[in-house]
Chain A
Amino acid sequence: MKIMKSMAFMALIFSVLFTGCKPKDADIKTAVEKSISAVPSLAGTTVEVKEGVVSLSGQLPDETAKSLAETTAKAVKGVKSVVNNLSIAAPITIAVDEVLTKSVKDAVKDYPTVVAAINDGVVLLTGEIKKDALPKLMMALSSLKPKKIENKLTVK
């Protein structure tokens, strides 16, 4: 009986300890997220906190942003250490107009009712297309590294 009682007491202590810990990590998480969201270049950072250790993950544009996220997180009160699992996104490559014009011409060749115009990486589509052919055309154009596809096609 005595053992049972002390075990119940221990369990009570543990539950108090654990519930005591939880809000703290949650508070740190909120504080770190707040600091990080104040910096626009750090958008895309995911924050996890376990026993005061902050783990950062996600994708940022460059190394500067990656280390800035780490220093920003470290500066938050209650943070013991920071595990930086952020990765760097590859730069967006846009095809030059000369290359894009040629590749778009190849892609729309089999859609005689579609007209494509290229201007500074933007593919402007006019004319008309059948609904079931549209995804295929968009798939082909999206792989040609355009800056943007402006679809003004009439879908029939």
Chain B
Amino acid sequence: MALQDKYKQLTDAAINGGITDLQVREQDGVLYVDGTAANGAVKDQLWDVYNTIDPNFVSGDLVLNVNVSIDAAVTKVKVITQSSNLNIRKGPGTDQPIVGKAAHDEVITLVNRSNEQWWLVRTNDGEEGYCYAQYLAPEA
């Protein structure tokens, strides 16, 4: 229970932020918080709370896995790299050959999200392949 107390402010924020499928479980000295946020702002807010309770995330006693829910109807994604081009690969993994690139800020077609980390996309030139999902933002 001590961990649940330590991160109470976080779980309260999750409840108030309307996180769905919220699961809070403790096992072997680690608290696992899972759920789905309605948007990226809610997720960022939870991470801010986490960073306040445990500055720089050094305690190693929380695994905060909050995904942002994406409307199934979304077909366009924007490339949100820092500034560089985004690699498009043959398969899901950095060990896979690069088959193309998408430019920073470019809007491309989302084909499939069956893999959580690697989304299947198609560029405007018709190139198809996998991109790392963290660098893609769904377009409303």
Q: Does B1 contact A (CB under 8 A)?
A: yes
Please give, as numbers and ranges, the residues of chain B lying within 8 Å of A24 by CB-CB distance: none
Contact (Cβ within 8 A) A92 B27 = yes
Please give, as numbers and ranges, the residues of chain B lying within 8 Å of A44 by CB-CB distance: 1, 4, 24
- Tell me the minimal C-beta distance from B14 to chain A in angstroms: 13
Please give, as numbers and ranges, the residues of chain A lying within 8 Å of B32 by CB-CB distance: 92
Q: How many residues of A are counted as interface, with CB atoms below 8 angstroms from the partner's CB atoms?
A: 33
Q: Does A106 contact B (CB under 8 A)?
A: yes
Per the bound structure, the CA–CA distance linking A146 and B30 in Å amounts to 11
Instruction: Using CB atoms, name the residue of chain A closest to B34.
Output: A90
Q: Does A61 contact B (CB under 8 A)?
A: yes
Q: How many residues of B are counted as interface, with CB atoms below 8 angstroms from the partner's CB atoms?
A: 30
Complex partner residue of B116 from A43, A135, A143, A148, CB under 8 angstroms: A143
- A36-52 to B contact mask, C-beta < 8 Å, 1/0: 00000001100000000
Per the bound structure, the CA–CA distance linking A70 and B134 in Å amounts to 44
Contact (Cβ within 8 A) A136 B134 = yes
Please give, as numbers and ranges, the residues of chain A lying within 8 Å of B64 by CB-CB distance: 142
- A54-78 to B contact mask, C-beta < 8 Å, 1/0: 0000010100000000000000000
Please give, as numbers and ranges, the residues of chain B lying within 8 Å of A143 by CB-CB distance: 65, 67, 116-117
Contact (Cβ within 8 A) B23 A138 = no
Per the bound structure, the CA–CA distance linking A107 and B27 in Å amounts to 25
Q: A59-B24, A142-B63 are in contact. Are A109 and B94 (CB under 8 A)?
A: yes
- Tell me the minimal C-beta distance from A36 to chain B in angstroms: 12
Complex partner residue of A148 from B4, B56, B60, B95, CB under 8 angstroms: B60
- B112-136 to A contact mask, C-beta < 8 Å, 1/0: 0000111000000000000010100
Contact (Cβ within 8 A) B25 A89 = yes
- Tell me the minimal C-beta distance from A99 to chain B in angstroms: 11
Per the bound structure, the CA–CA distance linking A61 and B32 in Å amounts to 13
Complex partner residue of A135 from B51, B95, B132, CB under 8 angstroms: B51
- Tell me the minimal C-beta distance from B6 to chain A in angstroms: 14
Contact (Cβ within 8 A) A138 B57 = yes
- B12-31 to A contact mask, C-beta < 8 Å, 1/0: 00000000000111011010
- Tell me the minimal C-beta distance from A82 to chain B in angstroms: 22
Complex partner residue of A90 from B23, B47, B95, CB under 8 angstroms: B23
Q: Does B97 contact A (CB under 8 A)?
A: no
Most chain A beta-carbon neighbours within 10 Å: one of B34, B51, B63, B95: B63
Q: Does A27 contact B (CB under 8 A)?
A: no
A-B contact pairs, 16 of them (CB 8 A): A44-B4, A59-B25, A90-B34, A92-B25, A92-B27, A103-B117, A106-B93, A106-B118, A135-B51, A135-B57, A139-B134, A142-B63, A144-B117, A148-B30, A150-B60, A151-B56
Sort A-B residue pairs by CB-CB distance and give the 7 closest, nearest first.
A150-B60, A106-B94, A89-B25, A109-B94, A142-B65, A92-B32, A155-B56
